[in-house]
């Protein structure tokens, strides 16, 4: 998996997370609330709440990962190490999402750490 492929795949995974989060909230909040202005905040519980937090985390991870990948690509510094780091990031985030949604705590933490380390390594490789 190239760095660009990992970025595209993660973008699609984040989009899937948005859909999963919205459908997960539907049962608790109802379609009228979700289609409305949402001026009144209503909390969700369980998997829906964890999906809200997972989505926030996914957006934060994207904000860190995308610039690192673009920096590698724009400066033409793609190497086997950078493609490995991007692949590790994507696989870690692929594991992270269901681990967070279904409260698999140890797996979630390890997947987050692997993804974060992979992102940091991309920045270091771009130096």
> Would you tell me how many other CB atoms lie within 10 Å of the CB of residue 84?
15
Instruction: Supply the mean pLDDT for the chain.
Output: 94
pLDDT for 33-51, tens place per residue?
878 887 888 889 999 999 9
pLDDT score, position 86? 98
CB 99 within 8 A of CB 107: yes
Please state, for a pLDDT cut of 70, what percent of the chain lies above it: 100
Please state the rounded mean pLDDT for residues 23-29: 85
pLDDT for 84-103, tens place per residue?
999 999 999 999 999 999 99
Outline where the chain has alpha helix (H).
3-29, 31-35, 46-74, 80-101, 105-125
Give pTM, 2 decimals: 0.91
């Amino acid at each position: 998996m190239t760095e660009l492929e990992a970025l595209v795949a993660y973008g699609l995974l984040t989009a899937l997370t948005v859909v999963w989060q919205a459908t997960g909230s539907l049962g608790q909040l109802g379609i009228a609330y979700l289609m409305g202005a949402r001026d009144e905040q209503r909390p969700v519980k369980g998997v829906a709440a964890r999906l809200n937090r997972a989505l926030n985390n996914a957006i934060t991870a994207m904000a860190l990962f995308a610039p690192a990948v673009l920096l590698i690509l724009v400066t033409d510094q793609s190497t086997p190490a950078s493609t490995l780091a991007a692949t590790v990031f994507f696989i870690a985030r692929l594991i992270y999402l269901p681990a967070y949604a279904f409260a698999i705590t140890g797996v979630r933490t390890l997947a987050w750490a692997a993804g974060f380390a992979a992102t940091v390594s991309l920045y270091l490789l771009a130096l």
